[in-house]
Structure 1
Amino acid sequence: MEEIVKIASIAQYNAMRGVVTKHPLVTVIDNSKAQPVPARSFNFGLYAVGLKELNAAQLRYGRKHYDYQDGSMIFVAPGQVIGVQRGDEPFAPKGWTLLFHSDLINGTPLGKHMQDYSFFSYEVNEALLLSDKERSIVIDCFSKIEYELDQNIDKHSKRLIASNIELLLNYCIRFYDRQFITRENINKGILERLEYLLQGYFSSDKPRNEGLPSVAYCAEALHLSPNYFGDLVKKETGRSAQEYIQSKVIDVAKERVFDMNKSVSEIAYELGFKYPQHFTRLFKQKVGLTPNDYRMKN
């Protein structure tokens, strides 16, 4: 079994890259000035943001491979596994690497809404691809963080460093929004596949046997991470993925409630509801009438 190296501290990572530790909770590395990353897998106990500028090796992100195109970024959350495969040669790309410990952002505005940066849970094929102008902005953010690390640590350091990391991540949100727009045709294709997926699901015995389709189920079937899938649906439809799926459930339910040979409870079980009252509650919430009232009115 392949050995997975645990990266638990900034000092440990800096030692591997041959750079000086300027702050115990954060580091910014110009990859061209550091030792290459050895070809093995790493389990990060830190947040990591990587900007790649030159195709040099193949990166494995989780259990998949990522071509790591020029001007692209990846984001790693604590607990994720990332590795490099390139025979006996080390991974030595140009670009920048930012790592920071969660303790750095505790008690800061960034720490309070870190969960908003859903791209830390995106998959390999969902990396952020940058234009030249966007890449320049990102490099400027890395440089600002590096500047703060070159100053003596004082009472302002934590706030200023966290603020600059937050600025970088906020730019990445903007750039991902742009990427959703520029890939509009691809996104529409995914929504069409989602429609077919849900139609097939409710035409089978899966609802009765497996329950209602979840966001995770749909994302996996479409080969997307749940977070990327959710963000894509939100950008394209204005509704959360859960709301979108529920609307499809109600569309199917509206047709089936007219089968007078079946009770509302039977229809609920056929749709994948564990308890009929949950079906009745959702139906009334979305339609404004209970299933029985809707049946009688129509």
Structure 2
Amino acid sequence: MIKRIEDIGTLYEWGGLDRTPVTPQFDVLKHQETYPFMKAVLPPHRRNFYSLIFLEDQQAGSMIINNTQYQQRRDVLFCQSPDHVFSFVRGDALEGYLVFFSAEFLLPMVKDLRTEYSFFALLNTNLFQLSPDEKSGILKLLTLLYQERDNLAVARYVLLGLLEKVRGIQQRNLQAAANLSKPDRLVQQFHRLVNVYYIEKRQVAAYAALLGVTANYLNELVKKTTGISAKKHLQNRLCLEAKNLLRASSSDIAEIAYFLGFSEPTNFGKFFKQQEGCSPKYYRENR
């Protein structure tokens, strides 16, 4: 079972950040404010709230989210919902903003965040590379939100404005995605689902059901498009997360096994050796 973080304060406590959010339902801070306190590695988890993560300048180091590594990136916006699995390994220098808020924070103005703002949905794009004009608009609103963070009546409306701005950016991305063929779009959606459910769902049939196709069709399509089977993609995703944790975290191997949904560390060891040809301990000590 993937760890689930109940609220913003619990996230800070778990991550080692000595900070009290503006309210239990809302906070905004600069990446720079998390140094040197926040842990550099957070294992896979879900959060019962929403996140907007703006990287204005990543400088040195890297951030790994859903096992995609973002290195020396500028002007990137991530949109995370309670459905997403979040994990990261970060470097020593990040600039930008973090916004955390619960669905309740925007009631009654927004009744269903996932429906109203579909960039939080699992099958849609949740990461946007901002153009200079888009960055300017986003940064103005983030700066205002930060300045007005203690004035909740204002902060709510600024946050709504920010979400509306992201919706506009999403439209540009949707137009680009419209040029994809239906099979390519299906494979793209498969990859997004794998990034979310790779710990809980390890059978291709489970992903086929979510996508409304048969397991055989999904297997054939994924292999034709990518060169490897859908099952191998699932195994690779799980193994890559394991390697991230073995390299970057101080958790012992048994803890990592449980983080990744294995009932016993020995089962994790067998899986890892099948994929990598060595034990988790050997990998950690020699890679």
SS at match of 1:111: coil
Partners of 2:139 and 2:57 lie apart in 1 by 14
For the Cα contact (< 8 Å) 2:57–2:96, is it kept in 1?
yes
For the Cα contact (< 8 Å) 2:97–2:142, is it kept in 1?
yes
RMSD of aligned residue pairs (Cα, Å): 3.6
Structure 2 unaligned blocks of 5 or more? 188-204, 224-287
Match of 1:13 in 2: 11
* Aligned partner (choices 28, 50, 53) of residue 50 of structure 1: 53
In the TM superposition, residue 34 of structure 1 has moved relative to its aligned partner by: 2.3
Task: Summarize the Cα distance change of 1:14–1:7 in structure 2 as closer, same or farther, 3 Å threshold.
Answer: same
Task: Summarize the Cα distance change of 1:194–1:9 in structure 2 as closer, same or farther, 3 Å threshold.
Answer: closer
Q: Percent identity?
A: 14
In the TM superposition, residue 12 of structure 1 has moved relative to its aligned partner by: 2.7
For the Cα contact (< 8 Å) 2:63–2:69, is it kept in 1?
yes
Q: Does 1:167 align with 2:161?
A: yes
Q: Does 1:150 align with 2:150?
A: yes
Task: Summarize the Cα distance change of 1:57–1:105 in structure 2 as closer, same or farther, 3 Å threshold.
Answer: same
Aligned pairs for 1:119-138 within 5 A: 119-122=119-122, 127-138=127-138
In the TM superposition, residue 120 of structure 1 has moved relative to its aligned partner by: 1.1
Partners of 1:78 and 1:126 lie apart in 2 by 13
Give the total of aligned pairs.
Answer: 191
Deviation per residue, 1:244-276 (Å, 9 max, x gap): xxxxxxxxxxxxxxxxxxxxxxxxxxxxxxxxx
Match of 1:99 in 2: 100
For the Cα contact (< 8 Å) 1:66–1:124, is it kept in 2?
no
In the TM superposition, residue 110 of structure 1 has moved relative to its aligned partner by: 2.1
In the TM superposition, residue 130 of structure 1 has moved relative to its aligned partner by: 0.3
* Aligned partner (choices 78, 81, 87) of residue 85 of structure 2: 81
Deviation per residue, 1:33-72 (Å, 9 max, x gap): 222442122321211110012234443433x314263111
Structure 1 unaligned blocks of 5 or more? 152-156, 198-209, 224-298
Give the counterpart letter for 2:181 in structure 1.
L
For the Cα contact (< 8 Å) 1:58–1:65, is it kept in 2?
no
Larger Rg: 1
* Aligned partner (choices 212, 216, 221) of residue 211 of structure 2: 216
Pick 1 or 2: higher relative contact order, CA cutoff 8 A, min separation 6.
Answer: 2
Q: TM-score, normalised by structure 2?
A: 0.55
Q: TM-score, normalised by structure 1?
A: 0.53
In the TM superposition, residue 114 of structure 1 has moved relative to its aligned partner by: 4.4
Task: Summarize the Cα distance change of 1:8–1:196 in structure 2 as closer, same or farther, 3 Å threshold.
Answer: closer
* Aligned partner (choices 38, 41, 54) of residue 39 of structure 1: 41
